[in-house]
Structure 1
């Protein structure tokens, strides 16, 4: 058995996102199955640009602390590493420090001695401007060449690290690695690659387990264990009542990829065209045939967000059948009336603010692609105003308030009364952000864009 273990690495992925929760028993089962490392993602860009732009976590501190307490105790008890990627949702420096503070509190409270590494991925604007001048920054579709002002406009910029900085931290003696922004797969692939597992199976397994139990028959039941060896890998759910099937495992290559057969990492491209998915039994899947093509140039993808303005939102609900019979006509009238009233009352033209009117229950999600014919029974009307400052955004929303409450449609000879969701109706959302970078940097070394701080001594209880 020892010789077999020497030629395989078992990665425990407890959940798709730190703070999302998981049954503690599933982690215990993963340890019993011989996990060599625990990897968990702390965030991504899925939830939009606010978390990067504002450098704020999406998750609640209590939820992150609950998950970390279980994982830190598990890692310490089994004497295996714990790797957390994209700390604080977006992987900014303050996000890493936020998670590190939680870890420090838990280690002290539990009397654990674990050496912690922080890997920072936030990028200095001046450094990136130099890279741009040197011709080392390139756009990814659909964006064009990067303008210096775009870099300067970002509130925060991070680089998505590959496995190399994580491996360097582990080799330096880290038992807990808290990484800034990292590719979702790098955190799971790092330890197997460090232990000499082939890149094809290591990266493919990492892709499948990046979201924990999403590749299983019950994603709510906990995570998975990937066992990687010289020829391929197996995927097993940590809950014994849950199954992986070849279709469920293969389907995860469709998730967040441009091409279901390829996935680019900083140091190369995963190629699964020849991958074969086989059911080992009714709940475990074996995958073989994955390959990895090393790139000529190592690259790091940049993510950056900037403020687009300040937002104020209001929300009312329509149940009046006469309005709902021509809800699109009513919405067009609402847009016209808002513009007219804003100009009449506070003297603002269309170029001084913007607003969006979304009809939830009608076409707010699919817009013109909505296939269902006929009028809806009820509609939620969301007004979202964007302006250069909060005061202006709120003023526009207040001007729209009587219209959101009483606007009749054409042909109505009475004022309808619609229903606001909140009082006051106007909700100030603060600064709004947008992603503006979809570019890569040609690196000089795989680790030169990242900074690692390794504690000299472990925490003492």
Structure 2
């Protein structure tokens, strides 16, 4: 048996039910094969079921995948990662499970990933490969969604998502739904000798929860007891953390592994030997990309993290997590809900770009751009079709490399972007705007040869092709049994699966037969000093420095999408005493935050402190020119929403708070 666990005095009589290794937070991004191999080898040598599980999908990168059938990464990137993973599946006889194939989880991309697996198996040198592959499909028929809309069973996923219209359903090429754990668990129970599962669009934790349930022989029934809520809470919380790989570690690791116990407790550690999982790093990751930190809704219920506890184990790298609760919808008298996702093409785009350095022009930029729009409108008065033109102005009021005669730093990088009914019309609008930008006159003009340094890469006008927009991001009520695979639910299930054998070698089932009663070898792990891991810096806050901005206090200060329609902001502190001082000071409240983030106080979707992570979180709608707009569409300039936090970073601290936090202690 392998040596992988903590000595018995730290085990608290916990019974492990499975190990899960996640090489990276997104299939196709690349990962450290040596580190993943080490984890798989260590865990698979025990009598405890072990699996490789990872996610492959997100709405973060915008709507193009759903609208155009593209994938998050090039096909070659998926082939590269799957080549490494199939080596591990073949060598260590562990199952591989991944969901949301291709990024959107469409049926087309599930089939594409299976085809990639077949091609890898057919390559010379892989003659010994033979895998039982299960495909699970998540697309729904439009007729079903129409019927649900007519029955009043569809609502927006979030308060700012517009009501679904019949036209929205008609405009999209495909509709995927975020599957819960049930289709995965059904597939595993029906095919316990599976080697690979390629899943369609799924709630990120779903394959993790399903495998933990499969390995522990747990079924989602009789779920009203506290023990059951803790069990499913632990499974789901583990999946929530693990689906991002080692992002919960300090410093961030590509991969991570988890040991799940029979009562829902789980241990998590990074694959990178120079990283570690700490109480704050893992608790903080529970906030990541979520609208709120304490209650996280998903298919069939919600996860409650209010009572979670975190224990750093003596190896200095592993964290033990307890206390999450999962409440099933049926147990509180509400419908099982699945999230629907779809996008449509709304037009075609073109752009031009260049820089402006003349301080005379920069000083009157707004009026100059208004005249460009007026000129373009005049030139297209008799042209059929609709169009829009707008500008990204990068560098305004920011530092650049060019000094004007007053000694102030000033330079603008301009991107003109057009959206039109056709590619030709978009190109015409952009071409006309570019000419007006270069040769338009302005007050006190001296440089008459041209206003724009343009032609980056030799391109003057760049045709961008179809422009997509999220059309469906809604929750649909379903009836009991519809959350399952159709075959296993005797025709009621919404989801379908298929099974095929890939490769010509002798098939060897993955080792998933061990039950949750297996004892594992106990070995003593020497505790190490809790000094920072290699590459990790200590807190930047000096005890002798008086902080003046929020940047001086926060260990993490970030912004990120929470779905296509929201931006969420996280402020995390390393020092509990300083966190409590900030919390008591009322520095972070809705009035202040709305001013700093340039939004109305009534627009704040959620705000508050989360003590376990020493954190403050606030979530607001995504807007453009005062109107709610989902990410990735026309005039997008921050698809992930990851650069929206600057107002908080530079937020000034009140003098009394600065003095109470600064100086020697």
> What TM-score comes out, normalization by structure 2 length?
0.64
Structure 2 residue 450 is matched with structure 1 residue 436: no
Indicate the structure with greater helix content.
Answer: 1
CA contact (8 A) 1:120 1:451 kept: yes
What are the Cα deviations for residues 388-409 of structure 1, in whole angstroms up to 9, with x where unaligned?
A: 1111111100101123334454
Structure 2 residue 39 is matched with structure 1 residue 12: no
Structure 2 residue 461 is matched with structure 1 residue 426: yes
Cα distance change on mapping 1:409 and 1:184 into 2, 3 Å? farther
Specify the SS of the correspondent of 2:350.
strand
1:371 corresponds to which residue?
Answer: none
Cα distance change on mapping 1:452 and 1:393 into 2, 3 Å? same
1:188 corresponds to which residue?
Answer: 208
CA contact (8 A) 1:268 1:298 kept: yes
2:324 corresponds to which residue?
Answer: 290
1:211 and 1:124 mapped to 2: Cα distance? Answer: 30
Shift of 1:38: 0.8
2:132 corresponds to which residue?
Answer: 115
1:191 and 1:283 mapped to 2: Cα distance? Answer: 24
Specify the SS of the correspondent of 2:418.
strand
Shift of 1:108: 2.4
Structure 2 residue 151 is matched with structure 1 residue 134: yes
Which of 220, 223, 227 lines up with 2:259 in the alignment?
227
2:112 corresponds to which residue?
Answer: 98
How many aligned residue pairs are there?
446
Shift of 1:11: 1.0
What are the Cα deviations for residues 96-123 of structure 1, in whole angstroms up to 9, with x where unaligned?
A: 1221111111122223111111111122
Specify the SS of the correspondent of 2:21.
strand
Moved more, 6-15 or 254-263: 6-15
2:473 and 2:178 mapped to 1: Cα distance? Answer: 11
2:33 corresponds to which residue?
Answer: 24
2:568 corresponds to which residue?
Answer: none
1:322 and 1:62 mapped to 2: Cα distance? Answer: 49
1:80 corresponds to which residue?
Answer: 94
2:420 and 2:382 mapped to 1: Cα distance? Answer: 11
What are the Cα deviations for residues 268-306 of structure 1, in whole angstroms up to 9, with x where unaligned?
A: 111110001111132111111111111122111001101
Structure 2 residue 416 is matched with structure 1 residue 383: yes
Cα distance change on mapping 1:38 and 1:402 into 2, 3 Å? same
Give the number of the structure whose alpha-carbon radius of gyration is greater: 2
CA contact (8 A) 1:51 1:89 kept: yes
What are the Cα deviations for residues 6-45 of structure 1, in whole angstroms up to 9, with x where unaligned?
A: 7321111110111111111111111133151111111210
2:103 corresponds to which residue?
Answer: 89
1:53-64 equivalence runs, <5 A: 53-64=67-78
Cα distance change on mapping 1:375 and 1:206 into 2, 3 Å? farther
CA contact (8 A) 1:169 1:454 kept: no
2:343 and 2:356 mapped to 1: Cα distance? Answer: 35
CA contact (8 A) 1:343 1:349 kept: no
Moved more, 164-173 or 135-144: 135-144
> What TM-score comes out, normalization by structure 1 length?
0.91
CA contact (8 A) 1:161 1:182 kept: yes
Cα RMSD (Å): 2.4
Specify the SS of the correspondent of 2:122.
helix
CA contact (8 A) 2:203 2:298 kept: yes
CA contact (8 A) 2:396 2:410 kept: no
Cα distance change on mapping 1:50 and 1:201 into 2, 3 Å? same
1:73 and 1:24 mapped to 2: Cα distance? Answer: 10
2:305 corresponds to which residue?
Answer: 272
1:236-247 equivalence runs, <5 A: 236-247=269-280
Shift of 1:343: 3.0
1:172 corresponds to which residue?
Answer: 190
Structure 2 residue 495 is matched with structure 1 residue 450: yes
2:408 and 2:467 mapped to 1: Cα distance? Answer: 33
Which of 192, 195, 207 lines up with 2:240 in the alignment?
207
Shift of 1:54: 0.6
Cα distance change on mapping 1:375 and 1:65 into 2, 3 Å? farther
User: Moved runs in structure 1, 4+ residues, more than 6 A?
Assistant: 1-6
1:363 and 1:384 mapped to 2: Cα distance? Answer: 21
CA contact (8 A) 2:337 2:477 kept: yes
Shift of 1:127: 2.1
1:146 corresponds to which residue?
Answer: 164
Gaps of 5+ in 2: 3-10, 45-49, 219-230, 399-406, 485-492, 506-665
Shift of 1:375: 6.5
2:397 and 2:345 mapped to 1: Cα distance? Answer: 27
2:503 corresponds to which residue?
Answer: 459
Cα distance change on mapping 1:86 and 1:409 into 2, 3 Å? farther
2:260 and 2:381 mapped to 1: Cα distance? Answer: 66
2:189 and 2:160 mapped to 1: Cα distance? Answer: 38
CA contact (8 A) 1:316 1:405 kept: no
2:64 corresponds to which residue?
Answer: 50
Structure 2 residue 383 is matched with structure 1 residue 345: no
Shift of 1:159: 0.5
1:359 corresponds to which residue?
Answer: 393
Specify the SS of the correspondent of 1:400.
helix
Specify the SS of the correspondent of 1:77.
helix
